[in-house]
Amino acid sequence: MDRSQSETGRRFSDRMRQSIVLSLNTRLFFRYLGVFISMDVLLCALFAGGLLFYAESVSAKYVLAAEAAGAPGGGELAFTEAAGFRLASPDADLKGYVPPEAFRFLYPEATADAARSLRMGSGDTWWDSVLGSEYVVVPSGLDPPLAVYFSLGEPLRLFGWLLLIFAIAQALALLRGLARNARTIREAIRPVNELAEAARTLNERGEMSPAELRRLAGTLNAINADHLDTRIPVSGAQEELKTLAAAINSLLDRINESYRAQARFVSDASHELRTPISVIRGYANLLDRWGKNDPETTQEAITAIKHESEAMQELVEQLLFLARSDNDTLRLTLSPVDLMEIVEEVYRETNLVHTEHRLERAPGPPVVVSGDAGLLKQALRILVDNSIKYTPPGGRILIGAKREGNEAVLLVEDEGTGVSPEALPRIFDRFYRAEESRARKTGGAGLGLSIAKRIADEHGGSFQVLSRENIGTRMMLFLPLAQAEDALKTAGPD
């Protein structure tokens, strides 16, 4: 592609970026403008209401004074003027509005049935006419008839200046907001600009290596979003753009799946915690009602409360482990670890507690990996405990460690009930239990295998599970041996 076409593509990218900024900035401008106009209208309404209230209140006072002292006679009839008010004979052509009787309670009692009108002044301009306007109240029952005239000029002039200053301040705020919003929008759409630049580069070069396309997909995957409900159609003849759209769709799928997984996690955790809390509350009520005089009831309640407390503590510890792993705050203490030593420790400890099963260990040479000894031992315990739960008493459970090619393997094999083919892909999901009725008997929250899977992931390992219903299950944890050899070279002789 020649230089002129490259410049054309760059200008198109710049125009697109400027168009987005201009469009968003225009929307924000009119939104703020609408807010400011609403504020001005509200301010005018408040001023008009306050001015009307003041005029009505003072007019009522003048009317009461005229009724008490009597109306002045003869001459001009204008006998007082203060604060913009004057009392004078009403004009012959003056017509006013008398409030309906149902609304007269809103007005002062002295002028509730008075006629009211707004008389514009005379002047060369409309503003002069506004400044010369008067609010006129003509009360009934006065002889001779009188009218109270309130000049609106001075309050309107003062409010006009205040409103002008307020409008200037709003205009300055709008202009300042245009520049500030433009900078904010440019920062916010930087990922979009990077995508546009990448698309322009694709269009110019025509061909990209697979590594470059993967880097582009990684840039897309780094973009964060809260709610994206649409998908980009993957169509067209350009493979590069297909890759771009597929990467964005993959991002949206992962975000959606992550959201649903978190929602399920919170729901399941709440459900699992609610069960032991309900049991503890029930036994506490039992103690409160009958435990004071019944030692057997007291002991039963104490035993049950201790059992449920231990189960709840184990569940909380499992949740905290998974939370640390999800937040990337789980830290491994890496060192050379002989898997056969871990097998021997778990074998001895399990035989002390579970004597109803035939626990066996497969002999073999040392199998050394680089890993966290505590976490690897925890993973093996989880696999053994899982086999014990689903293996009938007297059943055989085999544990061991061995090498397979360039990998080390931790092995747990049992003669248990096995897992159905439908349930097998989900056994590492959090809170998943294949059979709820059997899970309630065996206990546990369905987090053990999820934790074991996380430990394997942290060590760069993987699981392989073979299972047949009513025959048994073989679970193998694969760990890379290359890391172990490097660790031994680094450690050197003691």
Residues 108 and 45 in one domain: yes
Q: Are 222 and 250 in contact (CB under 8 A)?
A: no
> Is 200 found in the same domain as 295?
no
More confident residue, 442 or 435: 435
The model's confidence at residue 77, banded by pLDDT at 50, 70 and 90, is very low
Query: How do residues 446-491 score in pLDDT, each as one tens digit?
Result: 778 888 998 899 899 999 999 999 899 999 999 988 554 454 444 4
82 pLDDT tier (thresholds 50, 70, 90): very low
Kindly state whether residues 59 and 201 are assigned to the same domain: yes
Residue 425: the pLDDT is: 86
Which amino acid appears at position 233 of this protein?
P
pLDDT higher for 156 or 463? 463
Is residue 31 domain-resident? yes
- pLDDT confidence bin for 403, thresholds 50/70/90: very high
Which band of pLDDT confidence, cut at 50, 70 and 90, is reported for residue 402?
Answer: very high
445 and 343 in one domain?
Answer: yes
CA atoms within 13 A on the CB side of 164: 6
Return mean pLDDT, the chain: 76
Distance CA 478, CA 481 (A): 9
Mean pLDDT calculated for residue range 20-46: 84
DSSP E strands: which ranges in 320-404?
335-338, 358-361, 368-371, 396-404
Stronger pLDDT, 309 or 461, i.e. the higher one: 461
The model's pTM: 0.44
Cross-strand bridge partners of residue 210: none
320-373 pLDDT, tens digit each: 777 777 666 678 888 999 999 999 999 998 888 888 999 999 998 999 999 999
Q: What tokens were used for 66?
A: 């005229």
What's the pLDDT band for 155 if we cut at 50, 70, 90? confident
Q: Which of the four pLDDT bands, split at 50, 70 and 90, describes residue 426?
A: confident
List strand residue ranges (DSSP E) for 214-277, in order: none
Report the share of the chain in percent with pLDDT over 70: 68
The answer as to whether 428 is a domain residue is yes
Mean pLDDT of 251-266: 68
Q: Which residue has the higher pLDDT, 362 or 439?
A: 362
Looking at the domain assignment, is residue 182 inside a domain?
A: yes
User: Which pLDDT does position 398 carry in this prediction?
Assistant: 95
pLDDT at 491: 43
In a domain, 243, yes or no: yes
Question: In this predicted model, which residue has the larger pLDDT, 164 or 445?
Answer: 164
On the question of pLDDT at 44 being above 60, the answer is yes
Write down which residue in 294, 329, 364 finishes a domain. 329
From 307, 329, 351, give the residue that closes a domain: 329
Please report whether residue 46 resides in a domain.
yes
Of the candidates 329, 344, 373, which is a domain's last residue?
329
Q: pLDDT of 222-252, one tens digit each?
A: 444 444 455 555 554 445 455 556 666 676 6
> What distance in Å separates the CA atoms of residue 420 and residue 467, rounded to the nearest whole number?
8
Q: How many distinct structural domains can be found in the chain?
A: 3
Q: How far is CA 194 from CA 150, 191, 198, 232, 255, in A?
A: 66, 5, 6, 18, 21
Q: Which of 55-64, 159-168, 265-274, 358-367 comes out lowest in average pLDDT?
A: 265-274
pLDDT on residue 232: 53
pLDDT of residue 435: 59
Residue 2 has what pLDDT? 47
Q: How far is CA 360 from the centre of its chain?
A: 51
* 115-143 average pLDDT score: 82
Q: Based on the domain organization, do 320 and 200 belong to the same domain?
A: no
Q: How many CB atoms are closer than 10 A to CB 179?
A: 10
For residue 395, pLDDT beyond 60: yes
| Mean pLDDT confidence for 41-56 | 89
Q: Is residue 405 part of a domain?
A: yes
109 & 242 share domain: no
Q: Which residue has the higher pLDDT, 188 or 36?
A: 36
Give the pLDDT of residue 359: 92
Same domain, 294 and 398: no
pLDDT(79) > 50: no
Whether 15 has a pLDDT exceeding 60, the answer reads no
Query: Sign of dihedral through CA atoms 399, 403, 404, 407?
Result: positive
> What is the reported pLDDT for 295?
81
CA distance 253 to 250: 5
Helix (H, G, I), strand (E, B) or coil at 61: helix
Residue 147 has pLDDT above 80, yes or no: yes
Does a structural domain hold residue 212? no
Same domain, 411 and 270: no
pLDDT on residue 407: 92
Residues 182 and 197 in one domain: yes
Q: For residues 20-25, give the mean pLDDT.
A: 72
Tell me what pLDDT residue 154 has.
84
Query: What pLDDT is recorded for position 194?
Result: 65
Provide mean pLDDT across the span 297-311.
81
Whether residue 342 sits in one domain with residue 464: yes
CATH of the domain at 416: 3.30.565.10
Mean pLDDT along residues 46-53 = 89
| Residues 294, 399 share a domain | no
Residues 276 and 366 in one domain: no
Structural domain span for residue 15: 1-70+80-206
In the chain, pLDDT over 90 holds for what percent of residues? 16
213 within some domain: no
Q: What is the mean pLDDT of residues 46-51?
A: 89
Identify the pLDDT of residue 176: 84
pLDDT at 182: 76
Greatest mean pLDDT among 7-16, 18-27, 78-87, 408-417 lies in 408-417
CATH of the domain at 276: 1.10.287.130
